[in-house]
Amino acid sequence: MGTRAFLIPYLIALVLEGIPVFYIELAIGQCLRRGSIGVWTAVSPYLGLGCLTVSFLVSLYYNTVLSWVLWYLLNSFQDPLPWSSCPLDINRTGAFEAECQASSTVSYFWYRQTLNITADISDNGSIQWRLLACLAASWAVVYLCVIRGIETTGKAIYFTALFPYLVLTIFLIRGLTLPGAVRGLIYLFTPNVQTLRNPRVWLDAATQIFFSLSLAFGGHIAFASYNPPRNNCEKDAVTVALVNSLTSLYASIAVFSVLGFKAANDHGNLLRLLNAFDLPDQSISRDDYAAVLAHLNATQPESVARLPLEVCQLEDFLDKSASGTGLAFVVFTEAVLHMPGAPGWAVLFFGMLFTLGLSSMFGNLEGIITPLLDLGVLRRSVPKEVLTGLVCLLCFLSATCFALQSGSYWLQVFDSYAAPLNLIIFAFFEVVGIAYVYGMPRFSDDIACMTGRRPGLYWRVTWKVVSPLLLLTIFVAYIAVLAWTPLSYRAWDPQYVGPLGATGSHFGPALAFPWCHTWQDGCPKLQEGGAS
């Protein structure tokens, strides 16, 4: 859809949905001084249990992504970088791996050397021990940071919060000096009015707010319970939400300046191919580039004329670059290869991602541990370090399925269906519970006691009318999308070698759709079949 079309609905959702719900969570946690289960007992204890469950599920796959980042970080201390060239085929002396030549060096390192991925979700494959070791290391780091709750988390957050700003600033300065950076920024800030007519853009923006601000996970309620009773939680809610959004925008500027360089670089490669082989202008698309280049390396130039060629535009690169894990592990790693001192930039980039991931995990773990303490699952004589260790161990053991060769597919399923709909439901009942069950007058009195003034008209209107209606609309729209859109995941087929570079596969849980499409290297292809 493009980030440029995403900013407008995102900002609207932030004002009408994100900040009001965020304020409720901070205020209720600070007032009642409990975790999600204790806070929502007056409304329904199941609401708190739901928040705890979602925090647990999200922690499983979120820390798996953190383990992938750790793997790339460790591999970044090499010169040249291991994804800079294709490895030799062990069965043919002097020849390169055919799978790598048919795709790209960064895609091969990601899909084959890192994930060693299977062709579809029905083939689980075996445990990838190096990824399992990285997963264990990631959970060990998280445990050490949250071992004593807010005491150790508060100290770790100074580094995990400030270090990414330093790295983003370095990348921004470097990115703005690269050719094509301006085109990337123009793309970012040029609204696409046509795309705004797509309801899915508005739905995605509204649901993204939950992950951007970590709403309905229970972590904010737990953290707010440690605030001083007279803390100005209204100021905290507005300030943190705005700083979070401005940071996202700041990161987008840094990322799109580098992506603009990457797009311009690939665009230049296409032009060089066109000129070298005397082909018509705009006859090779970005989708075909890797396959065409591999083909030209192995065959005669005359074969190029028989390839299916399309129009090439610089914007196409950017439209297909920023999506999913491919942005960090494929697109951005390839862009780093073209920068002088590539290993240093790779260390900075993946070091930044690791610290950002740690910061998010602090909130997820606090959203699990604090409610468990409220429930009294262990005797008070048992140290909190033991409960934290048991939670981290349980999460690690539960997440070992993501270290399988098919783990990336299962992670995509979790990411798409484990949290978004649940978070919408929980946020709706949080707002309705405060406005109509706990009572707006009572809640206003609590806020006045904490901050010295009652909530203004904006807060009362959004809590009682706007936010509930918006959340209900999002819920209905999300259900409609699930009902009418085939469920899918992205697949990698190592047996397919050709200019399309794509394969299809299926996922059909609750809704038994006969087919759906997936992507490899950005190229779509439909294929019948299913996964049990």
Q: Which domains does the chain have, with CATH numbers?
A: 3-270+317-479 (1.10.4160)
Tokens describing residue 123:
């083939």
244 is in an annotated binding site: yes
360 is in an annotated binding site: yes
Q: What's the pLDDT at 272?
A: 59
pLDDT at residue 405 greater than cutoff 80: yes
The mean predicted confidence, pLDDT, of the chain is 79
Alpha helices in 218-331 (DSSP H): 219-224, 233-276, 286-298, 314-321, 326
- Please name the amino acid found at residue 400: T
CA–CA gap between residue 354 and residue 370 (Å, rounded): 24
DSSP for 430-469, please give it: HHHIIIIIIIHHHHHHHHHHHHSS---HHHHHIIIIIHHH
Give me the pLDDT at residue 324, please.
61
Phi (first) and psi of residue 127, to 5 degrees: -65, 135
Q: Is 14 annotated as a binding residue?
A: no
Altogether, the residues listed in the chain come to a count of 532
Query: What number is the average pLDDT over the span 376-392?
Result: 86
Instruction: Rounding to the nearest 10 degrees, give the CA dihedral for residues 182, 356, 116, 121.
Output: -100
293 is in an annotated binding site: no
What does the pLDDT look like over 266-301, one tens digit per residue?
655 565 556 555 555 555 555 555 565 565 655 545
Indicate the pLDDT class of residue 52, thresholds 50, 70 and 90. very high
State the average pLDDT over residues 2-24: 86
What whole-number percentage of the chain has pLDDT above 70? Answer: 77
Q: What pLDDT was estimated at residue 519?
A: 29
Own/partner long-range contacts of 455-464 (Cβ < 8 Å, ≥24 apart): 455/234, 459/20, 459/23, 459/234, 462/16, 462/20, 463/20, 463/24, 463/431, 463/434, 463/435, 464/435, 464/436, 464/440
Residue 503: band (very low, low, confident or very high) from pLDDT cuts 50, 70, 90:
very low
